[in-house]
Chain A
Amino acid sequence: MDRIDVVRKGARPIPRLAVALVPLGFLGIFYFYPLGGIFHRSFFSGEIFSMATLLDLATSRRMAGIVWFTFWQAGISTLLTLLCALPCAYVMANFDFKAKKLIMTLATIPFVLPTIVVAAAFQALAGENGLVGGINLEHSIAMIFLAHVFYNFSVVLRITTGFWSFLRQEMGEAAAMLGATPGQVFFKVTLPLLRPAILASAILVFIFCFSSFGVILVLGGPGFSTVEVEIYRQAAHLFNLPGAAVLSLFQICFTFGMMWIYTTLQKRITTFIPQSQSHALKPVNTLKEKLMVASCVGFILVFCLSPMAALVVKSLVFDGSLSLAFYRELFQNTSGSLFYVSPVDAVENSLVFAAATLALAVVIGVCAASTIQRTGKRIGAFLDPIFMLPLSTSAVTLGFGIIITLDKPPLNLRTSVMLVPIAHTLVAFPFVVRSVLPAISSIPASLREAASLLGATPARVWFHVDLPIMARAITAGAVFAFTMSLGEFGATLFIARPEYSTMPVAIYRFLGQPGTMNYGQAMAVSSMLMLVTAVGFLFIERFRSFGDRGF
């Protein structure tokens, strides 16, 4: 074995370098270069630089409060999300029941909904005049937690379920045979094996909540502010670029530090022989199992489906009766506007951007994960955090950076449509990395070597060993890349080409002016967005031909 390892470590540097160049080149051009530009401009250009602003910011009581709030709300949001999602992941990973795929899809759809629409849905359900009625959720910290769990639930659910259903049953059975109680099996065998996936999803959720913007602004109200919200306020409304830059730098450094601790703490990566494809999910037999499945399904229906159903109802009810009036109106350009985008075009634009994002994110994400896994602990522990940075970088800061740096040929991209999938990929590929890395690291080297010894060519080894094991994780990452792109509108708005409006942009524009037709059409486009997302998921999962029916 030692000799083999020596040979492996001596692998040619060129291919490794080529693989590493894909994600590093991408980040270098579209992330570090623009950020460097905006930081340089903010700190070193005499005209707007003011030391006083920086000092004000650093010593301000209010800033300290904002930073502290950003931390603790993210921590609690992450814990709550784990609490809700892990029991459901257990059910999803271990039992076989009807409509499982549909339930899984329903749980993921919230991810694409604009916060303003989610706010309307919550209001319709639980506001003062809502269906459930009487619960005053207006602008409270509970509202922020609720929304964060609503959005991030599926991140934990998908990543953990994908990993969990690959665990070999035999290990648990062996432990049970040796006299372990089910509790002991769970805590001593299953949980340690699951740890990489749980931590990976938890870290994603934490970074997400840490840089939360829409949820805080829209659902939390102005009483709450995160660092991300403050950056937007400083940059877009107070024209305080140095202030915004300092805060962005803080965000980046913090994310890097946290990710570095996380990767370093992950001392041993659990490797295990993955289960064969004939892995049988348990049928639901006993009353206890039925109860578990029912409560998981019930939770997802109530928590995820009911707000979405409220939106669909709103899009279909006109003047108190069922009607397609809002949908019909979508096809008409009532005001003759130059910027009218038909629903067909909006769906098409959304899908083209999402497909491009998916392809780019999977290629870059898999290359990034392979690079981290192959470069060894020290460099890997440095690279891994780097790949996570775009997730928590303020979009306004990066957008301004792009304006001042990518402005000359060959990279005059300031107004290019290409910037949309690029911006989406920046925030989507970290999902692929997080999702693929636990899977890729779990593959024992002996498995590939065995295949080679049996005469498989390198390509065959990759296709028959690596790819099947990674396939499920890649699918999970791909689903998130796809949803991320479908739901994103900040970058799409910022990139400024109105003829390429996507569905979220259309929703946002409809809500820009008063009038019931505008509101109804916004709800109709939201319903279409949910439908397109669901169909997209089913298509992605059908497309995957390697893994099994794990989720």
Chain B
Amino acid sequence: MIHHVSKVIYPVFSLTLVISLTMVIALTGCSRDDQPKENDTVQEITLMTHDSFSASARVIEAFEKKNHAKVVFLKSGDAGEALNKAILSKNNPLADIFYGVDNTFLSRALSEDLFLSYASPQLAHVKDSLKLDPENRLVPVDYGDVCINYDRNWFREKNIDPPSSLEDLLAPGFKGLTVVENPATSSPGLAFLLTTVARFGEQGYLDFWQQLQNNDVLITSGWKEAYWGKFSAASEGSRPVVVSYASSPAAEVFYSKTPMETAPTGVVIDHGTAFRQIEFAGILKGTQKLALAKKLMDFLLSTQFQEDIPLQMFVFPSNKEAALPEVFTKHATITDDPAVIEFKIISEKRDLWIEQWTESML
């Protein structure tokens, strides 16, 4: 009788084993079922991108209908993580097209030899100043400026002039007013660091930061923490100056629900105070659907897709013929005089600058 005790566990756990196996099989089954079956007419094409990517359903449908295709989107973390995933899966690519390499990562992406060269006919309509890769492996799809945003109400109520230059942030009256993002963990943070390098030079930028430190600047890890946690125009926070995008005021108006004449926030973009972020897309080497991938690239650069970009991602279209929505023409700005550092130098010096910055600021 007693030795039966040892058998106690056997039936029960064989049961649990069966249950867990069934689950795994069921789940695998699910994941297979939800991928639409490919047939002769509908071809699937996969676009890999970052979390912030968005597009209108009707615009993508238009492409799918015209080309008998189904576009599958893979969102793969933030811009850095997504590019890293593309690099790691180079030999067995996850997608046919990658959307969202910015100019700070451009060199890295090109040197990994991930992309096929494709000179889309649509490139004729793309602003020449945005084209950085002469071989057209990565072509510009959108751009925007990273710059200082300020809380208009706050400055009006306090009767203080809002900032108009980077140097203004160092004034005694601006003590404790500014919040910026850590360039090591945030892409607007990195863009702002590059702005200061362009503005004050490699020798002088750390001085600027030191003075900013003395003026009680607050550094957060990311844009969300700065904007939603500390910026007085958007949160319970007390700081009226934040590093954000030149299109943020347009988003404030678009997502305000109650109609607004003027945006609650203003921007500082003149005389090299804004950094231009350009996003690129390209066809991943190893694609099995080159013809369709080329069509999708043409489509991404076409006015139909480009005109959809502003209200979906709050950046500017690279196609100069794409018309801007009203909220953009009224409330979003773009500078003629951005801070410029050549992308090759950025990727050469990026880590060094971040490290120097970290050493002196944290």
**Residues on A facing B (Cβ under 8 Å):** 4, 7-8, 10-12, 15-16, 18-19, 21-22, 41, 62, 116, 119-120, 123-124, 127-130, 138-139, 217-218, 221-223, 232-233, 235-239, 318-319, 325, 329, 333, 335-340, 356, 359-360, 363-364, 366-367, 370, 374, 396, 399-400, 403-404, 407-408, 413-418, 421, 445, 448-449, 452-453, 457-459, 461-462, 466, 493-494, 496-498, 508-509, 511-519
A222 touches B221 (CB 8 A): yes
A449 touches B80 (CB 8 A): no
Q: What bracket does the count of chain B residues touching chain A fall in?
A: 35 or more
A516 touches B7 (CB 8 A): no
In the bound complex, residues from chain A placing their C-beta under 8 Å from that of B3 are 7
Q: Report if A418-B31 is in contact (Cβ < 8 Å); known contacts: A120-B229, A237-B184.
A: yes
Q: Report if A403-B88 is in contact (Cβ < 8 Å); known contacts: A238-B351, A338-B60, A449-B5.
A: yes
In the bound complex, residues from chain B placing their C-beta under 8 Å from that of A400 are 84-85, 88
In the bound complex, residues from chain B placing their C-beta under 8 Å from that of A62 are 358-359
A516 touches B255 (CB 8 A): yes
| Contact residue among A129, A337, A421, A498 (Cβ-Cβ distance under 8 Å from B75) | A498
Q: CB-nearest residue of chain A relative to B249? A: A514
In the bound complex, residues from chain B placing their C-beta under 8 Å from that of A236 are 77-78, 80-81, 84
| B262 at the A interface (CB under 8 A) | no
| B345 at the A interface (CB under 8 A) | no
Tell me the complex Cα distance, A431–B129, Å. Answer: 55
A/B interface sample: 24 pairs, CB < 8 A: A19-B13, A123-B237, A128-B236, A217-B221, A222-B185, A222-B221, A235-B84, A236-B84, A318-B257, A319-B258, A337-B56, A338-B60, A338-B73, A339-B55, A363-B19, A403-B88, A418-B27, A418-B28, A449-B2, A466-B8, A512-B224, A514-B227, A514-B234, A518-B255
> Which of B70-86 touch A at CB < 8 Å?
73-78, 80-81, 84-85
Q: How far is the CB of A437 from chain B (nearest CB, A)?
A: 15
Q: How far is the CB of A148 from chain B (nearest CB, A)?
A: 17
Tell me the complex Cα distance, A139–B184, Å. Answer: 17
Interface of B is mostly: helix
Between B2, B219, B225, the greatest number of chain A beta carbons within 10 A of the residue's beta carbon is seen for B225
A218 touches B227 (CB 8 A): no
A15 touches B81 (CB 8 A): no
Q: Report if A12-B244 is in contact (Cβ < 8 Å); known contacts: A221-B221, A448-B5, A513-B255.
A: no
Q: How far is the CB of A416 from chain B (nearest CB, A)?
A: 4
B30 touches A223 (CB 8 A): no
A338 touches B10 (CB 8 A): no
A338 touches B55 (CB 8 A): yes
Q: CB-nearest residue of chain A relative to B53? A: A339
A116 touches B20 (CB 8 A): no
In the bound complex, residues from chain A placing their C-beta under 8 Å from that of B224 are 116, 511-512
Tell me the complex Cα distance, A450–B255, Å. Answer: 69
In the bound complex, residues from chain B placing their C-beta under 8 Å from that of A129 are 236-238
| Contact residue among A339, A399, A511, A515 (Cβ-Cβ distance under 8 Å from B256) | A515
